[in-house]
Amino acid sequence: MTYAKTAAFTTDQQQLARVAKALAHPARVAIIQFLASKKTCISGDIAAELPLSRTTVSQHLQELKALDLIRGEIDGLTVCYCLNTELLHQVHQQFTAFFIEATATGPVCGPEDACAC
Amino acid sequence: MTYAKTAAFTTDQQQLARVAKALAHPARVAIIQFLASKKTCISGDIAAELPLSRTTVSQHLQELKALDLIRGEIDGLTVCYCLNTELLHQVHQQFTAFFIEATATGPVCGPEDACAC
DNA sequence: ATTGTTTGTCGTATATTTGCGACATACTTT
DNA sequence: AAAGTATGTCGCAAATATACGACAAACAAT
C-alpha cells in the first residue's frame, strides 16, 4: 500500500487534513458558497449552477455529506440540502487555531529569500 | 482530460481550493506545525520527525514551497526552511472570510436531520 | 397504470497523489 | 583529490480523485 500513512499522525492533524481535503476542490467550495447564499435549503439543481455534470455534482455533495459539513433531507421528490453551520463554525475555530500557531512566531523569512538562520 | 475543470470557477474559489489542497495531507500539516514549533529555521531533518521516507518528505516540502507557504534557502550543506508567516496570515484571513460567509446564515439544519425547508 | 421528473448509484476512463528506492548534485571535510 | 553528508530529482507502482454516461429507485402528475 502506498497511501494511508495517515494513521501515523496526530488526530488533530488528520482531522484538519480531512476537512482541508473537502475544501480542496473549487466545485466543493462553490457548492458551500452557493448553499450559504440561499437562506433556505436548495435542492440539487446546484448542478445547474456549476459547469459540471449532475453526476459529478452529486459525488461532490456526497463527499461533503460524508464529513457532515452539509445535510440532505429528502423532501418528496427533491432533496433539501443545507449547511451544517455548527460544524462549520467548529472547523473555522480549528483552522484559526492552526493558523495562529503557524503565524505566532512572526516573520522569520524575509520578503523573498532572506532566511535569518 | 477528466480534470482541470478548475478553470471554470472563480479565482477566489480556485485560490482557496489550492491552499486547502496543500493542507489536505496530515504530513504537510505536521511539517508546518513542526516548522512553527522551531523558532529558527530547521533543516530537512524534518524527515527524521515524520514516519515517512526522506524522499516523500522532500516532495511534500516542494509542494508547500510551490505555493510559497514555506521558503527554503541553501545554507552551505543544509537547506534552511521556514514559514512564510505573511502569506499564512493572508491565507488565514481568506479562510476566515469563507467560513464567516458560510456560517452567517446561522443554523438552518437541526441537530441531525431537521431541515427547515 | 403510465409517464415524467428528480435523485442516487454503478461502472469506466483518465488524471493526480502518494510513497519510496536509486541516482545525481552540491558542498564540506580530511 | 577523495570520501562523506545533506538534498533534490527521476522513475515506478499503487492508491485516490475526477468526470461522466447509463441505469435504477422514488415519487408526482396525468
Per-residue model confidence as pLDDT tens digits over A40-64: 888 878 999 999 999 999 999 999 9
C-alpha distances in angstroms, A63 versus A17, A22, A42, A56?
14, 7, 17, 11
> Residue A1 has what pLDDT?
45
> Residue A57 has what pLDDT?
95
**Contacts A24 to B, Cβ<8 Å:** 17, 20-21, 24
CB within 8 Å: B17 and A6 = no
Residue A73's SS3 state is strand
User: B89 near B42, Cβ under 8 Å?
Assistant: no
The mean pLDDT values, 10 residues at a time, for chain B of 117 residues are 66 97 97 91 86 95 96 89 95 98 75 49
Under the banding of pLDDT at 50, 70 and 90, the label for residue A113 is: very low
Q: Please say whether the dihedral angle defined by the alpha carbons of residues B59, B62, B67 and B68, taken in this order, is positive or negative.
A: positive
CB within 8 Å: A109 and B82 = yes
Q: Which CATH architecture has domain B9-102?
A: Orthogonal Bundle (1.10)
> Residue B19 has what pLDDT?
98
Which of A13, A17, A109 is the closest to B84 by Cβ? Answer: A109
Percent of chain A with pLDDT over 70: 84
B29 shares contact with chain A (CB less than 8 Å)? yes
Of B12 and A117, the structure prediction assigns the larger pLDDT to B12
Tell me the β-bridge partners of A70. Answer: A83
Per-residue model confidence as pLDDT tens digits over B91-111: 999 999 999 999 987 666 654
Residue B25 approaches strand D within 7 Å at CB: no
In angstroms, the separation between the Cα of residue A79 and the nearest Cα of chain B is 10
Q: Which CATH architecture has domain A10-86?
A: Orthogonal Bundle (1.10)
Per-residue model confidence as pLDDT tens digits over A1-39: 455 666 679 999 999 999 999 999 999 999 999 999 987
Residue A81's nearest CA partner among A27, A44, A39 is A44
> Residue A77 has what pLDDT?
86
Of A76 and B84, the structure prediction assigns the larger pLDDT to B84
> Residue A111 has what pLDDT?
47
Whole-prediction pTM value?
0.89
In angstroms, the separation between the Cα of residue B75 and the nearest Cα of chain A is 8
Q: Which residue of A has its CA nearest to B51?
A: A8
**Contacts B71 to A, Cβ<8 Å:** 109, 113, 115
Find the DSSP H helices in A1-117: 11-22, 26-37, 46-49, 54-66, 85-103
